[in-house]
Structure 1
């Protein structure tokens, strides 16, 4: 029994202390050095959203909870972190919401509240798009709480998730591209000219995956938990050694995106984690294993990728953001 107790204490100690990860560089933990607030502005109105190379963030608001839950650099609570990401050039965001009292959404990563509410998200988006009206932001919205161990539990006695979301849309007229927030009819993939100054809802996912109602883009009707036809999200990386497998999954999906019909939109999650491979390690590398972010930057620098699609990143660096944005300039 003492031996098992000692092992348990060792595991707890390892989890409590930050584990080795590669130092910040152009690919990792340097988002604050990126400045691309108007990169969509010069692109032709006729350009399809699907044809773009778009830097995004996985668990966009997750800056709290320690090494197992933090996925982004901390630029402030409420909307501060999102605002800085948008200025850096991030144009697809991943928002995870808990149903809270008063028919509201609070932002969570699992059980951890991220010191932000959905109103903060919408306010940051509205302010940015008012200042940069030729830009657009794509949002994936997910009902976060499953009620299971390690997750959160929605507050009982509230309206349904879709009804609460509809109320937010009504209180923020003109913020969302209207065809994407019609819960009964999914939208075709738009052109930039249709969505400038607006938020495009790509999908609303339920707590265990699967789309909620018919919000978003028709192409993502099959977006479930993990990967689907147009989404690579192999998020379980069981240990540091398995980061190599995740790198290969990201690369192969990039290659598929480059070869695919440019009218189809692809979403490639570069993120991953587990108890023994924390988000920072998967992104930046650890114990001599190259992380996904430096691998991705090197790969994009060495290939002639026509487009990346939407690339969802943990702890992105300025060089990686800049490289993805630059692909839109040919």
Structure 2
């Protein structure tokens, strides 16, 4: 009896011991700065893709929900070090956004702080990303003016919580939504109007309806939740993390948990292909944690394959009807091209 109990305890403890060992190894690795992983077709090679007009040849009657759309998570997060940077740096003042749009990115994730003068500055947590919301809108207007057959989906979020590690909004300013409305009003025709009309909760449009325009998918508060039914009605439940049409399992505590993130991405690909064909499904490949910076999750660490190369392998090996919107950190040109090719 005693021996049996001892064996059972040993078996029970093995997963915990492996987890502790992985955490210890990860912590040891983080004591020594690690170079970024080698770039490949899935990772850190954005500029090898050139798809400035990929939507132009598509049927205007197709729903946005039927498309396969490459996107970026924390689109303008290029400063702040390994735990903050999520994208290759192609320049401040949203020049990085222009590089992404030229590569074929059509879904973006922008986070803003309320600044003096009732303006928005772009942040990732406490780190100012050397861009303002006017820069973002200038880049979008310039790109869509030159490529009127395209559209861009925008997830826009109030970034500051005032907590440690985050930013704090400037005091004495208008509400986030009032400031947003002022930006929209100053640029008539840039946004698809039903998506930026307060309390309108728009239906998913066809591509032809929104060519040459920005479509607001959702306007999120700093702790999740949607402001005043801006954006698309289907995203009423888009909070901080996953929901019916969104996979955003962003917590990856250590490199040993990258596999769980790969599984989440793969499972949501299956959900997307078996789900409502009239809805937009948003699959975040990104993640991070105290012992797993974003570039480890995207590119891999030690024996754990990164999400980006894993995803490219899955898309090459499996025939999907659509990928939905795929929001990535450090996307490679080959991965962007592959998602576009599904259209």
Question: What interval of TM-score do these two structures reach, taking the shorter chain for normalisation?
Answer: over 0.9
**2:162 is the counterpart of 1:143:** no
Distance 1:15 1:57 in 2: 25
Q: Which whole-Å deviations, capped at 9, do the CAs of 1:229-267 have from their partners, x for residues lacking one?
A: 000000000000100000000000001101112101100
**2:310 is the counterpart of 1:287:** no
Structure 1 runs of 4+ with >4 Å offset = 10-17
**2:106 is the counterpart of 1:91:** yes
Higher Cα Rg: structure 1 or 2?
A: 2
- Distance change >3 Å, CA 17–CA 182, structure 1 → 2: farther
Distance 2:225 2:298 in 1: 26
Equivalence map 1:229-244=2 (5 Å):
229-244=244-259
Aligned partners of 2:26 and 2:291 also within 8 Å: no
- Distance change >3 Å, CA 153–CA 11, structure 1 → 2: farther
Aligned partners of 1:54 and 1:310 also within 8 Å: yes
Task: Give the equivalent residue in structure 2 for 1:327.
Answer: 342
Distance 1:282 1:19 in 2: 13
Equivalence map 1:1-330=2 (5 Å):
15=30, 18-19=33-34, 21-328=36-343
Deviation (angstroms), 1:188: 0.4
Distance 1:12 1:307 in 2: 39
Deviation (angstroms), 1:69: 0.1
Gaps of 5+ in 2: 1-24
Deviation (angstroms), 1:183: 1.0
Aligned partners of 1:21 and 1:285 also within 8 Å: no
Distance 2:152 2:279 in 1: 17
Deviation (angstroms), 1:15: 4.9
Distance 1:322 1:200 in 2: 22
- Distance change >3 Å, CA 130–CA 16, structure 1 → 2: farther
- Distance change >3 Å, CA 101–CA 15, structure 1 → 2: farther
Aligned partners of 1:21 and 1:287 also within 8 Å: no
SS, match of residue 212 in structure 2: coil
Distance 2:115 2:160 in 1: 11
SS, match of residue 195 in structure 2: helix
Q: Which whole-Å deviations, capped at 9, do the CAs of 1:89-148 have from their partners, x for residues lacking one?
A: 000000000000000000000000000000000000000000000000000000000000
Deviation (angstroms), 1:18: 3.4
SS, match of residue 342 in structure 2: helix
TM-score normalised by L of structure 1: 0.95
Gaps of 5+ in 1: 1-9
Aligned partners of 1:20 and 1:287 also within 8 Å: no
Cα RMSD for the two superposed structures: 1.4
Deviation (angstroms), 1:19: 2.2
SS, match of residue 151 in structure 1: coil
Distance 1:169 1:151 in 2: 26
SS, match of residue 83 in structure 1: helix
Deviation (angstroms), 1:275: 1.6
Aligned partners of 1:53 and 1:327 also within 8 Å: yes
Q: Which whole-Å deviations, capped at 9, do the CAs of 1:34-59 have from their partners, x for residues lacking one?
A: 10000000001100000000000000
Distance 2:27 2:176 in 1: 36
Q: Which whole-Å deviations, capped at 9, do the CAs of 1:298-330 have from their partners, x for residues lacking one?
A: 0000000110100000000000000000000xx
